[in-house]
């Protein structure tokens, strides 16, 4: 007795049974029920997601005598069974466009389509699989019949590469209704595999089904075919061990192991780990894709631990949660970027020795510097200089006294200077290069004046410019809670070329007088022309 593969045995027979393609199945079902079926459909999407299946269900529905009012075929009559099995008939024909791609084949198809259906109430449906393989000349031969089709004739073109049709026969697109099929999610594939095993009376481990669903990569047919492989080894119960042996899937313990190696910075253990993977017969490219998925999972758990996705059994979920707590989000982002870059530049696909590429990736992750918060660095270096506490508030006025606006409390000039340096918005208004120079200066208060002792450098000339100095004094007054403030600049190299690094009472007084002269142009001119001497 011949064995019927699960992918064929459990192929959908009705629109409502097609998983995750409701945007297509519902549209076609309603079109049948409302008598609004188009003459040509272009069904695009990855392999194994239901393109040919839906084309067959459409043909079944159009030619089913027991079709429901909602447009669903009965799925059990002779016509439905014949079409569902893919058998060629007078009215429903499936053509492999990969082997019938020439212009002569298209002309023969066009001639056959001109013939009326075998019965008055039936439709002729032509299903062309791998339609992108048709030549440009073949498409041109079909163009006229698609533009003015005979009555009750429908074409269904199924393709995995709609881009090639657009490049070789773009006029076809405007003459067809196009439907784009989605990849099927892991949970939906798991659900369908579970339903199939329950119908077969076979027990299963949910983790084993999840591994099969991931391997299927969005294709339901691939998932059922993989399940057939696993059942060939163990037909009593589907377990994780059987899936690992048959499909070469890397066990979750291996991913947890390499994460521990990266966390503990055991660089040499990377080579032993890769060697063990190869000894167990694992595909390193398959391991790489699994690693990127686990890094993405860790990042999701780290960023939103309360809504961590349920992607595995409780034991493994807890283990991944513990590893996620050991990584900072920035570390995981950089690791995921490293892994993604290996595939983005195509080096992993081009190389004939993926072992070296995977080892280098894991080593770079193990040597990756850990992310440290800037606040932690500042705290370890002694922290930000503490500001002087504000003076105690004045006692509240008596109820009979009229309220008066309280002026801002004056604080020490040195503390006000530090607050000015921390005022990012005000510091942005200064010329470029001045801000670092100010932070390198030493500030102290002397006789109500803020004395800035500058290091030698080009920033001194900019600081002595009147607009810059005026802006600094206004900001200092604001943060000091005063009407005005005065800044005296010493140090560096003064205008006479003398070293101003040593601060004395005389140097402070001379600097103050010099600044007063600069702020009063008439006074400065009088000093120069009359040779006056200024005294404090």
pLDDT per residue as tens digits for the range 321-364? 888 888 888 888 889 988 888 777 666 766 777 888 899 999 98
- Give whole-number Cα distances, 344 to 17, 57, 161, 295, 329, in Å: 37, 39, 21, 16, 22
pLDDT tier at 500, thresholds 50, 70, 90: very low
pLDDT of residue 532: 57
- Report yes or no: 67 and 32 within 8 Å, Cβ to Cβ: yes
Please say if the pLDDT value at position 399 is more than 70.
no
Q: Where are the beta strands (DSSP E) in 97-199?
A: 124-129, 153-159, 177-180
Residue 527 exposed, middle or buried by CB count within 10 Å (0-12, 13-18, 19+): middle
Please say if the pLDDT value at position 398 is more than 50.
yes
Would you tell me the crossing angle of helices 269-279 and 354-366 to the nearest 10 degrees?
140
pLDDT of residue 33: 92
pLDDT of residue 395: 56
Token pair 């990969």 is found at 98
pLDDT of residue 394: 53
pLDDT of residue 387: 47
What b/e sequence results for 101-119 when a residue is b if at least 16 CB atoms lie within 10 Å of its CB, and e otherwise?
A: bebebbeebbeebeeebee
The sign one gets for the Cα dihedral 293, 296, 300, 301 is positive
Please say if the pLDDT value at position 190 is more than 60.
yes
Q: How large is the average pLDDT for residues 448-473?
A: 78
Interatomic CA distance for residues 511 and 488, integer angstroms: 7
**Continuous segment of H or E residues that includes residue 92:** strand 92-96
pLDDT tier at 53, thresholds 50, 70, 90: very high
Q: How large is the average pLDDT for residues 369-383?
A: 60
Please say if the pLDDT value at position 416 is more than 60.
yes
Please say if the pLDDT value at position 472 is more than 60.
yes
Instruction: Provide φ and ψ at 452, rounded to 5°.
Output: -105, 115
Between 399 and 110, whose confidence is greater? 110
Neighbours of 442 (CB within 10 A): 13
pLDDT tier at 245, thresholds 50, 70, 90: confident
Q: How large is the average pLDDT for residues 87-113?
A: 85
pLDDT of residue 410: 56
pLDDT of residue 470: 84
Q: How large is the average pLDDT for residues 274-283?
A: 87
What is the percentage of the chain residues whose pLDDT exceeds 90?
18
pLDDT tier at 421, thresholds 50, 70, 90: confident
Please say if the pLDDT value at position 494 is more than 70.
no
Interatomic CA distance for residues 140 and 38, integer angstroms: 20
- Report yes or no: 45 and 108 within 8 Å, Cβ to Cβ: no
pLDDT of residue 181: 93
Please say if the pLDDT value at position 30 is more than 90.
yes
Q: How many residues does the chain have?
A: 536
pLDDT of residue 271: 93
Q: How large is the average pLDDT for residues 61-89?
A: 86
Please say if the pLDDT value at position 386 is more than 50.
no
Please say if the pLDDT value at position 224 is more than 90.
yes
pLDDT of residue 28: 94
Please say if the pLDDT value at position 404 is more than 50.
no
pLDDT of residue 526: 62
């Amino acid at each position: 007795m011949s064995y019927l593969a699960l992918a064929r045995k459990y192929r959908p027979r009705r629109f409502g049974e097609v998983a995750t393609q409701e945007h297509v199945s519902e549209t076609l079902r309603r079109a049948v029920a409302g008598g609004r079926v188009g003459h040509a459909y272009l069904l695009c999407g990855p392999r194994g997601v239901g393109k040919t299946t839906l084309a067959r269900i459409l043909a079944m529905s159009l030619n089913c005598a027991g079709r429901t009012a909602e447009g669903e075929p009965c799925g059990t009559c002779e016509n439905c069974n014949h079409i569902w099995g893919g058998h060629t008939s007078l009215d429903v024909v499936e053509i492999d466009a990969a082997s019938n791609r020439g212009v002569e084949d298209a002309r023969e198809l066009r001639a056959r389509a001109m013939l009326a259906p075998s019965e008055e109430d039936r439709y002729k449906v032509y299903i062309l699989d791998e339609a992108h393989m048709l030549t440009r000349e073949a498409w041109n031969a079909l163009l006229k019949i698609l533009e003015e089709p005979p009555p009750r004739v429908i074409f269904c073109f199924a393709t995995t590469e709609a881009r090639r049709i657009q490049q070789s026969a773009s006029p076809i697109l405007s003459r067809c209704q196009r439907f784009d099929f989605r990849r099927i999610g892991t949970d939906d594939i798991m659900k369908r595999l579970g339903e199939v095993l329950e119908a077969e009376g076979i027990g299963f481990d949910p983790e084993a089904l999840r591994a099969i669903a991931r391997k299927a990569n969005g294709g339901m047919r691939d998932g059922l075919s993989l399940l057939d492989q696993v059942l060939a080894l163990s037909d009593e119960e589907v377990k994780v061990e059987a899936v690992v042996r048959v499909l070469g899937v890397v066990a979750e313990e291996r991913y947890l192991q390499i994460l521990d190696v990266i966390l503990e910075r055991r660089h040499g253990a990377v080579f032993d780990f890769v060697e063990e993977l190869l000894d167990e017969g694992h595909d390193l490219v398959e391991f790489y894709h699994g690693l990127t998925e686990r890094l993405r999972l860790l990042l999701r758990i780290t960023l939103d631990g309360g809504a961590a996705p349920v992607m595995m059994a409780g034991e493994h979920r807890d283990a991944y949660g513990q590893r996620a707590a050991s990584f900072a989000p920035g570390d995981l982002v950089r690791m995921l970027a490293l892994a993604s870059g290996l595939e983005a530049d195509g080096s992993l696909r081009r190389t004939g020795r993926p072992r070296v590429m995977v080892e280098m990736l894991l080593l770079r992750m193990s040597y990756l510097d850990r992310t440290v918060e800037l606040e932690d660095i500042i705290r370890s270096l002694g922290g930000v200089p503490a500001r002087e506490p504000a003076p105690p508030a004045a006692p509240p006025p008596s109820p009979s006294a009229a309220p008066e606006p309280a002026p801002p409390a004056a604080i020490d000039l040195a503390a006000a200077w530090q607050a000015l340096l921390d005022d990012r918005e005000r510091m942005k208004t200064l010329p470029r290069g001045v801000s670092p120079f100010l932070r390198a200066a030493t500030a102290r208060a002397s006789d109500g004046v803020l004395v800035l002792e500058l290091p030698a450098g080009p920033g001194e000339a900019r600081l002595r410019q009147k607009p810059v100095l005026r802006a600094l004094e206004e900001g200092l007054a604001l943060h000091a809670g005063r009407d005005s403030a005065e800044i005296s600049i010493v140090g560096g190299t003064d205008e006479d070329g003398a070293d101003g690094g040593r601060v004395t009472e005389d140097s402070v007084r001379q600097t103050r007088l010099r600044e007063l002269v600069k702020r009063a142009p008439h006074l400065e001119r009088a000093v120069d022309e009359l040779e006056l001497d200024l005294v404090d």
